[in-house]
Structure 1
Amino acid sequence: MTDARRLSDATLADLPPGIERPRYDPAATRIGVVHLGPGAFHRAHQAVYLDDLLAEAPEWAVCAVSLRNPDVRDALRPQDGLYTLSLLGETPRLRVIGSIREVLCARDEQAAVLARLAHPDVRLVTLTITEKGYCLAGDGLDLAHPDIVHDLAAPATPVSAIGYIVAGLRARRAAGLKPYTVLSCDNLPDNGGRLRRATLAFARRIDPGLAAWIEAEATFPRSMVDSITPATDEVLRERVAAALGVEDAWPVQREPYAQWVVEDAFCDGRPPFERAGAILSGDIAGHDRAKLRLLNGPHSALAYLGALMDIETVADAMRHPGLATFLERLMREDIAPTLDAPAGFDAQAYVGAILERFRNPAIRHRLAQIAWDGSQKIPVRLLGTLHDALAAGRPIDRLCLPVAAWMHFVRRQARNGVALVDPMADVLADIGRGTTGQAQDDVAAFLRLDAVFGEMAGERRFVDALVVAYAALGRRVERALATDSGRDLR
């Protein structure tokens, strides 16, 4: 691949008319954001929100920093940071994103990264580094982590994200500048709070005065992000090259839907995120809970019920009339009423958006993958909703069907000799092999899993409804789904 045939500022004007391109001059922007961890999700999500804003707010372009791997830098630097986003709807759309104006690899360009963090124009540092990148132990900083040990001993030459954040803040304080806002965009519980605590713990170890300044002046907003972003493959690269007439070394793709909820707690101004469709909210936990119950819970329901019907993908499952109808009623009538919704949140509209996403034929999300780690997902995705429905005296029969379907899924995999992908795989396989098909006995065996069911195993109404649901699924899945609210299962 030669630079002359690459997507770049020089070739942007020559792209075919059907390709969306920046509505601003990328060269006229200024870098106001440093992003750590510019993988596919950042480039398909946060960078796109910023791209939407640069025509009216050109001071919020991005410096993308990989901490170790130079691949993104090596792909995008010859392209002046430009890359293509493919939006995977029934009719795919291609859009060139121009918000990334500098691409660095900290491993090779440490001085440039530190200089950028200290630059007066930078007012926001964002991160998508996955949970392990925060070097946490429980709720705090892992002081024994090798990267943290290194950075505490040599804070001027950091290797960790926390080390770089503190080094940049230290330089700004020394220069008499305001701190930047630090915004985690990884879906971790209390992501901003955990990042703040880790940053302060690190800073206290090297300079208590710096830590006090960060604590008083800097902010670490909480956030939540959502959009399905399949990995880039050669099929995408070839399709993009054919459409653009030039090569793009690293295009990205995602579904058309994207959500970004951000706590409005910035210490030195912020991009006008709401103009690009982001939600500014003081209740990130409420939005997290809505996503967990209305998106993740139904995803698991589809995975286990669909698996029992030998359906392969989410979109395939949504083409099954009985399953699609069951899922919509589960969401609208059983899950949505249990939510303590954030201010301004429209649960029914959110359900409609999720159902549209599930039906998208361009996203091949395999049910077998969603079914992984059921022992970890069932408690947080479904049992919390069941607990609240019980407490409110609401019907729970339909809510019990996905839980019973998980039990049947485990039983089928174990009895067929298929390995489970689950931290409790061995225990679950033993239970599955020991089941007899008798609903009372099989459900009782699963309910002894205290790490999964806890106090719910003692809730008589839940146990009785679960036994009925298990027995109904054992007879015929389609019939169980077709009952009125799942209530007439006997």
Structure 2
Amino acid sequence: MNRLSSATLDRLPADVVRPGYDRAEVRCGVVHLGIGAFHRAHQAAIFDDALNAGDLRWGIVGASLRSVQVRDQMAPQDGLYTMLVRDGVSEQARIIGAVQRVIVAPEDPRALLDALASPDTHIVTLTVTEKGYKLDPATGALIEDDPQLVADIASLARPQTAPGYLVAALAMRKAAGLPPFTAISCDNLPHNGARLRGAVLDLARRHDPALTDWIAERGAFPQTMVDRIVPATTGEDVAALTTRFGIVDQAMVKTEPFLQWVIEDRFCGPRPAFGSGVQLTAAVAPWEEAKLRLLNGAHSGIAYLGGLAGMEHVHEVLALPQARAFVDALWDEAQTTLSPPPELDIAAYRDALMARFDNPTLRHRTRQIAMDGSQKLPQRLLAPIMARLGTGQGIAALSLGFAAWVRWQAGQDDLGQVHEVDDPLADEIAASLADAVTTEERVAAILRFDAVVPPALASNTAFRAALVRWLTILETQGALAALATFHGET
């Protein structure tokens, strides 16, 4: 059967939205590092909007820093793919044409460097996950013993990390007399712009102090907050779309109607006239904090408790009254630690989040959300825990969510099913827990793991007691019993 491509666009059903611009006239003003499903359903759709509005500077060169999978999905399709937007009762199919080509960096690092150093490139966006920045999640410093970072500190001739590519390309731009690009982290890092800037400047300083000064003076690293639920595409999704289209699309993505991108208005070059879903602001931090602690914090709690109970999807977990009560209580706790901007109505935001979580057509998998917990939970759960303990407030829901992550490290759910602990620190955490026999010893081992738990929090007796209590219930009775206990006490 034919693949989606420029040649087969006219064979699609009439209700499918197609690019409204001449792709042959598009220039690539954006390079994106980490071209996964989230980027294709979020930033790429926004740049596609700019192209549809007539500004043809905003095509995308996508880059994978690891896998060939996305390149192999998209190259036979001329970079085209379907974005399915599902709200539970309807579905809209739109073909996104913004991505012009995809580079696999380990195969051809020079091609990526040339794209980053091109005079057409004005913006570089990143979705490389928290671990891709090579930063200690607790301190924000470069992880200097990371093998890839060690290589980039030694030489940037063939970069291996995202900061390495940025520094090498910025050096090329400086040498060519070009201005720097605006680099925008779209990952769920706290203060992501400042952290990306710090990583780039720190690495640049190891190679060229003059380059470091040039980047610091002329570059731009806006803070940003992104929000859209994008579940992993399954084989069943591809098969269903094939039946609908009569054409195969191996690069399709599925998502929800909601889309938000809050960007600090700090650019060092051109930017599109951003449209719907994008908000430029002087201060991103309050938006970022609300999203991390409400949406992402609840998602993590749902993922670990639901995953331990053997439940596959978010909406299935929230069908349980006790799980719904847990999420509401977690939001009650986290909300007291926020300083929301005037434009953000927290009550309305919470209602909207619950409706998004309830969307059954997304089929957002708990195990997808459970990945990389060591990188995510410091900002999602531990930061609000520290804030509440500092003002003498309770932490019952937040600590239950964190205890569920600790339980997840055992690699087996309450039904006896084995799961992979997909986390960059999985081996180190497992080693730290290996000799722990009792629940108290396991809690003590986790609290000593300062790459995740800040020492000031690890020494807090109330936090330790809450973890011991919840982990005991999780280990002896299971996640559903823990939720029932929590519900009975609230």
| 2:251 corresponds to 1:253 | no
Question: For the Cα contact (< 8 Å) 1:400–1:466, is it kept in 2?
Answer: no
**Cα distance, 1:348 vs. partner?**
1.6
Q: Which amino acid aligns with 2:291?
A: K
Question: For the Cα contact (< 8 Å) 2:83–2:252, is it kept in 1?
Answer: yes
SS at match of 1:268: coil
**Cα distance, 1:58 vs. partner?**
2.1
TM (normalized to structure 2)? 0.78
1:112 to 1:329, Cα distance in 2 relative to 1, 3 A: closer
Match for residue 80 of structure 2?
82
**Cα distance, 1:147 vs. partner?**
4.5
Question: For the Cα contact (< 8 Å) 2:33–2:126, is it kept in 1?
Answer: yes
Match for residue 292 of structure 2?
292
Q: Distance in 2 between matches of 1:161 and 1:469?
A: 37
**Cα distance, 1:371 vs. partner?**
6.6
Which stretch of the first structure deviates more once superposed, 213-222 or 362-371?
362-371
1:176 to 1:445, Cα distance in 2 relative to 1, 3 A: closer
SS at match of 1:113: helix
1:408 to 1:30, Cα distance in 2 relative to 1, 3 A: closer
SS at match of 2:13: coil
Provide Cα deviations, 1:131-169, integer angstroms capped at 9, x if missing partner: 444344664445665555655665455454334323332
Provide Cα deviations, 1:371-390, integer angstroms capped at 9, x if missing partner: 78889877754454455446
Match for residue 99 of structure 1?
98
**Cα distance, 1:482 vs. partner?**
5.7
Which stretch of the first structure deviates more once superposed, 282-291 or 90-99?
282-291
Q: Which runs of 5+ in 1 are unaligned?
A: 436-441
SS at match of 1:230: coil
**Cα distance, 1:351 vs. partner?**
0.8
**Cα distance, 1:201 vs. partner?**
3.2
Instruction: Please identify the structure whose Cα radius of gyration is greater.
Output: 1
SS at match of 1:280: strand
**What is the RMSD of the two structures over their aligned residues, measured on CA atoms?**
4.3
SS at match of 2:214: helix
1:394 to 1:173, Cα distance in 2 relative to 1, 3 A: closer
Match for residue 458 of structure 2?
454
Aligned residues: 470
Q: Distance in 1 between matches of 2:443 and 2:161?
A: 42
Q: Distance in 2 between matches of 1:142 and 1:429?
A: 24
Match for residue 355 of structure 1?
354
Question: For the Cα contact (< 8 Å) 1:309–1:477, is it kept in 2?
Answer: no
| 2:344 corresponds to 1:340 | no
TM (normalized to structure 1)? 0.78
1:383 to 1:17, Cα distance in 2 relative to 1, 3 A: same
**Cα distance, 1:315 vs. partner?**
0.9
**Cα distance, 1:235 vs. partner?**
1.8
1:70 to 1:296, Cα distance in 2 relative to 1, 3 A: closer
**Cα distance, 1:217 vs. partner?**
0.8
Q: Distance in 2 between matches of 1:194 and 1:299?
A: 23
Match for residue 279 of structure 2?
279
SS at match of 1:58: coil
Match for residue 9 of structure 2?
12
**Cα distance, 1:449 vs. partner?**
6.2
1:364 to 1:427, Cα distance in 2 relative to 1, 3 A: farther
Match for residue 22 of structure 1?
19
Q: Distance in 1 between matches of 2:253 and 2:360?
A: 18
Provide Cα deviations, 1:240-269, integer angstroms capped at 9, x if missing partner: 222223222322223443333322211012
Q: 1:50-449 counterparts in 2 under 5 A?
A: 50-56=47-53, 57-67=55-65, 69-90=67-88, 91-136=90-135, 139-141=140-142, 147-148=148-149, 155-273=156-274, 275-303=275-303, 312-325=312-325, 327-328=327-328, 330-331=330-331, 333-367=332-366, 381-382=380-381, 384-386=383-385, 388-389=387-388, 421=421, 424=429, 434=438
Q: Distance in 2 between matches of 1:298 and 1:392?
A: 22
Q: Distance in 2 between matches of 1:312 and 1:352?
A: 23
Provide Cα deviations, 1:432-457, integer angstroms capped at 9, x if missing partner: x757xxxxxx8x99589644663442
Question: For the Cα contact (< 8 Å) 1:9–1:80, is it kept in 2?
Answer: yes
1:52 to 1:205, Cα distance in 2 relative to 1, 3 A: same
Question: For the Cα contact (< 8 Å) 1:184–1:192, is it kept in 2?
Answer: yes
Provide Cα deviations, 1:169-189, integer angstroms capped at 9, x if missing partner: 233223322211112222233
Q: Distance in 2 between matches of 1:143 and 1:248?
A: 41
1:22 to 1:368, Cα distance in 2 relative to 1, 3 A: closer
Match for residue 439 of structure 1?
none
Q: Which amino acid aligns with 1:317?
A: V
Question: For the Cα contact (< 8 Å) 1:42–1:128, is it kept in 2?
Answer: yes
Q: Distance in 2 between matches of 1:404 and 1:151?
A: 37
**Cα distance, 1:59 vs. partner?**
1.3
**Cα distance, 1:117 vs. partner?**
2.6
Q: Distance in 2 between matches of 1:405 and 1:205?
A: 40
Q: Distance in 2 between matches of 1:478 and 1:269?
A: 50
SS at match of 2:119: coil
Q: Distance in 2 between matches of 1:145 and 1:311?
A: 35
Which stretch of the first structure deviates more once superposed, 263-272 or 400-409?
400-409
Q: Which runs of 5+ in 2 are unaligned?
A: none
Question: For the Cα contact (< 8 Å) 1:401–1:470, is it kept in 2?
Answer: no
